[in-house]
Amino acid sequence: MRVYTPSRVEPPAPEAILVFVVFLAAQVLDGLLTYVGVTLLGVGVEANGLLATSMQAIGAPRALLSAKLLAAVCGYILFRTACHRPLAITTGLYVGVAIVPWLLIVGEHLAIRAF
């Protein structure tokens, strides 16, 4: 009978750690920008239907915190299982599809308010 002995686990590369940190930063920034956006403009501006429904049901802070914690756990699983390329792709998508649009929406709203 063979006994399972775990192989030596290599520490993650510095690039992988950087990708994970940027992923977490993107999650935090997306959560903050989403909160500001829905506070200023209402839940109707949220493009994610599941998240918008959650915000209406349990409130924006709880829904956003839950969603961002789930995303962070999923990112951590990708990081620990050495799936660094999908994590990097997801990070880039978050920046391009979530953070940039929220920056434009919130920035435009604040610029209009300033005048």
Q: Give the pLDDT confidence of 66-112 residue by residue, as tens digits.
A: 999 999 999 999 999 999 999 999 999 999 999 999 999 999 988 88
Cα separation, 91 vs 107, whole angstroms: 22
The lowest-confidence range among 1-10, 16-25, 75-84, 102-111 is 1-10
Q: Which two tokens stand for residue 92?
A: 């880039």
Cα separation, 48 vs 12, whole angstroms: 33
Give φ, ψ of 46 to 5 degrees: -75, 125
Q: Which two tokens stand for residue 87?
A: 């994590």
- Ordered by start, the domain boundaries in the chain are 14-114
Overall pTM surpassing 0.75 (yes/no): yes
